[in-house]
Amino acid sequence: MMKNKTSIKGNIHYVGVNDRQKHLFENLWPLPQGISYNSYLIDDKKIALIDTVDVCYFEAHLRKIKSIIGDRPIDYLVINHMEPDHSGSIRLIKQYYPDIILVGNHHTSCMIEGFYGIVDEQCIVNDGDHLELGSCKLSFRLTPMVHWPETMMTYCAREKVLFSGDAFGCFGALGGGFIDDNIYTDIYWEEMVRYYSNIVGKYGGPVQKALTKLGNIPVSAICPAHGPVWTTFLNTARVLSLYRKLSRYDGDDGVVVVYGSMYGNTEQMAEAIAAELSAQGVMNVIVHNLSKSHSSYILSDIFKFKGLIVGCPTYNGQLYPEMEALLSKIAGRDMKNRYFSYFGSFSWAGAAVKKLSEFAEKSNFELVGQPVEMKHAMKEETYAECEALARAMAKKIVRTTKY
Ligand code: FEO
């Protein structure tokens, strides 16, 4: 049976676009499978557009809009989020639809002026406010810092559809269709965790508040700003449950071992630790070489698992630079609820272990086991120390597995 190419439910349509060209989201995070910029159109007595798309894709966006409403004007542009991947086409939309009314909250308007120089009168909404479109009535929930101060969600009670902005979104362009029930969704679950940990990860508290604010509103479809539209009961429940877990910084049973190594000696410490973790019954042991794994994927795994062991050599009297960069990204996300340990090496004057201990002290992590410091290369006692550290970590992980 031929399916409509834009319809989601009732008079709600998908008018988003795929970006398979950009290599790095925010010029930071890899996009091996691209990304979608989702936008939605409600074709009611009054027509409302919810968010726009990256400005590079405006032509495709406009063509989709016109395929639904022809030459009729759009009455409202609801701005759930001002990051330019969604707001980038506001100025052009305004040129094509000069009478369109921009709808946002008090944080949105100064950003509209700042980014796009638009000072026209806007419709400022607050928590719980409504906007009548005809048969649909939209209501708004302000969800600051999920992921910017102005972020909000929009809800259509008649269709029970939640337009959630960045929340519940994921990396990965869409393969033709956009509704979960009609497309292959396996890749998006991993990409949802990576998106969360990379983009929203710092804001666990605000995400918790947003989830509380949503309460038990009935949801038949979640329409995020990136990735598939989630419509099945199982998927909407899974999306919400994943966000509850990630925002609490709850990790699964497992340990991420991340190391830097110039000539393979520090790498052998990581291998010894990983092998002992496995021997002690830890099923999920994820090992990352900092110089090969992109930090985007390392962060994603750190969000997934409750154990973290890091190690690196001393470099110019400091931490190995790649480790320094990773620790800054971990600290920038206010990570909590992790069992943590570390190891390091040096050739003539040790600094790595000292620097890692300073990180440990400042972190919210529980230090586990005795950190290991190695001079030059592995010796029998280094193996023994690495294995002892791994056993201490395994005890935490395997013990929690049993309950
Ligand atoms: Fe998809 Fe925070 O922008």
Q: Answer whether 176's CB lies under 8 Å from 16's CB.
A: no
- In the reported structure, the alpha carbon of residue 146 is separated from the centroid of ligand 1 by a whole-number distance in angstroms of 9
**How many CA atoms are closer than 13 Å to the CA of 23, on its beta-carbon side?**
1
Q: What is the topology classification, in CATH, of domain 2-247?
A: Metallo-beta-lactamase; Chain A (3.60.15)
* CA proximity to 368, closest of 294, 282, 290: 282
Residues 6+ apart with CB under 8 A from 297: 194, 288
pLDDT at residue 99 tops 80: yes
The CATH code of the domain at 252-394 is 3.40.50.360
Q: Residue 2 — pLDDT band, cuts 50, 70, 90?
A: low
Instruction: Identify the pLDDT of residue 41.
Output: 98
pLDDT in tens, 112-161: 999 999 998 899 999 999 999 999 999 999 999 998 999 999 999 999 99
Q: What is the pLDDT of residue 5?
A: 86
Atom number, ligand 1, closest to the C-alpha of residue 165? 1
Residue 399 pLDDT class (50, 70, 90 cuts): low
Q: Ligand 1: residues within 6 Å at CB?
A: 81, 83, 85-86, 147, 166, 225-226
Ligand 1 center to 37 CA (angstroms): 9
Sole residue written with tokens 């804001």 = 203
Q: What is the DSSP letter of 365?
A: P
- The Cα–Cα gap between 5 and 101 comes to 27
How far, in Å, CA of 387 to CA of 309, rounded?
A: 13
Task: State the pLDDT at residue 401.
Answer: 46
Task: State the distance from the centre of ligand 1 to the C-alpha of 318, rounded, in angstroms.
Answer: 35
What is the pLDDT, as a whole number, of residue 185?
97
Domain parsing of the chain, residue ranges: 2-247, 252-394
pLDDT at 121: 85
The CA 378 to ligand 1 mean position distance, Å, reads 45
* Structural tokens at position 353: 């272990």
Distance 148 CA to ligand 1 centre (A): 8
Model confidence at 402, in pLDDT bands (50, 70, 90)? very low
Cα 198 to Cα 210: distance, rounded to the nearest angstrom:
19
Residue with tokens 């919400």: 240
Res. 403: pLDDT tops 50: no
When pLDDT is cut at 50, 70 and 90, the band that residue 264 belongs to is very high
**Length in residues, the chain:** 403
pLDDT value at 360 more than 70? yes
* Whole-number Cα distances in Å, 43 to 8, 10, 139, 227, 250: 12, 9, 16, 22, 41
Atom 1 of ligand 1 has which residue's CA nearest to it?
166
Same fold across 2-247 and 252-394: no
Closest residue by Cα to atom 3, ligand 1, is 83
Are 177 and 237 spatial neighbours (Cβ–Cβ below 8 Å)? no
d(CA 65, CA 267): 54
